[in-house]
């Protein structure tokens, strides 16, 4: 029985978004499933003592160009949103709240949140936008709104982010295949070879 | 007449080394030549206010693993040297000194310096090692040793590094094809498509 692929990402990460549109097809091709793990890159940047890459002089300008070109390269519809980047703690909490009840629907919510932000430009740092997106998928708006402020949901989200950091997640996307870590949508070619050959 | 490809790199960059072993074949396949531009990443890190990536917690550990796996993926012989990273100002000066007299031989020197460091583990921050590598290629050892301390060579090197930074070079390798910048050996797939199609 092949292990699922672990897919870590931040909802404000363009490269994570591109990966989210390709990861399931890659996994399925090699008889795998995907475990989705939204996390908060801010926790990583804090530990590393660094700023978000797009805020870094020189690098930031390059990255904005590369986000768009990489999306075209991978055949993924993408528009750099404004504001960008945004806080994604509400999106993350919505995911983990739903994942405890309906895991498959939580993955669909993750895709909807990513699409809302990177295709439609909806500000997903806004709690009410997260609630609307959840409601459009059949979640109860009041229940979801309450969950986003619920201490147990906050604790669950924090525990998931801590677990990601403890595992070495240092960026988005970050994919683990049988304990081998791959950081970046630009590692899809290496992931493909790894899955096909069992390692190289 | 197709423009040459501009190839920027730091001699202590593993990804730059891997790129150096592949860039000419890629260019030749598309009827291009390569202009080699060694530079000093330290100048970029200083402007960005960041530490070298391998010194950053969490990320550093990942990168060491990724250097070796990426080299295997690209079919390039590679060994993480010790010490790593090292100062590469002597190597850079040797290159620009020779490039003003014998450009083709300077490219051969760049390849030899990279090979000495990443294949044989020779510490190329050591001036005498740079002199030895130059001498093994037929350079006059005394002349090269003197050049490494010569103010005109220092100024030339500084001017080249400044020009790279002014152009937006934010990492190694950094390749410019007809004004389109590509950062990382993991952009070879995008470069290949860009060269084949004229842009996407």
Provide the ipTM: 0.94
Is the pTM higher than 0.90?
yes
What pLDDT does B55 receive?
87
Query: How does pLDDT run across A119-154, given as a tens digit for each residue?
Result: 999 999 999 999 999 999 999 999 999 999 999 999
Residue of A13, A54, A50, A46 lying closest to A162 (CA atoms): A46
Average pLDDT over residues A46-75: 92
What residue ranges do the domains of chain B occupy? 5-197
Query: How does pLDDT run across B57-94, given as a tens digit for each residue?
Result: 889 999 999 999 999 999 999 999 999 999 999 999 99
Q: How far is A25 from chain B (nearest CA, A)?
A: 20
Is residue B1 scored above 80 in pLDDT? no
Residue of B174, B115, B143 lying closest to B107 (CA atoms): B115
The answer to whether the peptide bond before residue A85 is cis (omega within 30 degrees of 0) is yes
The answer to whether the peptide bond before residue A80 is cis (omega within 30 degrees of 0) is no
Please report the number of interchain residue pairs, chain A to chain B, with beta-carbon separation below 8 angstroms.
Answer: 68
- C-alpha distance from residue A89 to each of A10, A138, A171, B147 (Å): 9, 21, 16, 56
- Residue A81 sits at the vertex; the CA angle it makes with A91 and B53, to the nearest 5 degrees, is 80
User: Residue B57 is nearest to which of A48, A69, A169, comparing CB atoms?
Assistant: A48
User: Residue A189 is nearest to which of B66, B165, B189, comparing CB atoms?
Assistant: B189
Is residue B148 scored above 80 in pLDDT? yes
Partner residues linked to A181 by β-bridges = A176
Q: Assess if CATH 3.40.30.10 describes domain B5-197.
A: yes
Secondary structure of residue B174 in the 3-state scheme = strand
DSSP A171: S
Q: Alpha-carbon distance A123 to A126, whole Å? A: 6
Q: How far is B75 from chain A (nearest CA, A)?
A: 10
Cβ pair B185, B19 in contact under 8 A: yes
What pLDDT does B49 receive?
86
Q: Which two tokens stand for residue B145?
A: 């040793």
DSSP for B96-134, written as a single string: HHHHHH-HHHHHHHHHHHHHHHHTT---TTSHHHHHHHH
Q: How far is B59 from chain A (nearest CA, A)?
A: 6
What pLDDT does B168 receive?
95
């Amino acid at each position: 029985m092949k292990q699922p692929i672990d897919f870590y990402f931040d909802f404000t990460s363009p490269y994570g978004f591109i990966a989210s549109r390709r990861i399931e097809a890659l996994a399925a091709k090699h008889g795998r499933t995907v475990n989705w793990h939204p996390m908060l890159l801010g926790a990583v940047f804090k530990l590393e003592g660094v700023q978000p890459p797009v805020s870094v002089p020189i690098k930031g300008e390059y990255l904005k160009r590369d986000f768009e070109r990489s999306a075209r390269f991978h055949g993924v519809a993408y528009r750099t949103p404004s504001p960008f980047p945004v806080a994604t703690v509400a999106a993350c909490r919505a995911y983990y709240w739903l994942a405890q009840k309906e895991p498959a629907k939580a993955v669909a919510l993750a895709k909807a949140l990513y699409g809302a932000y990177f295709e439609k430009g909806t500000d997903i740092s806004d709690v009410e936008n997260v609630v609307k997106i959840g409601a459009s998928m059949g979640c109860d708006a009041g229940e979801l709104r309450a969950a986003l402020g619920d201490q147990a949901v906050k604790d669950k989200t924090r525990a998931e982010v801590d677990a990601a950091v403890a595992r070495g997640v240092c960026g988005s996307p970050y994919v683990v295949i049988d304990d081998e870590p791959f950081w970046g949508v630009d590692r899809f070619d290496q992931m493909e070879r790894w899955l096909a050959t069992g390692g190289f």
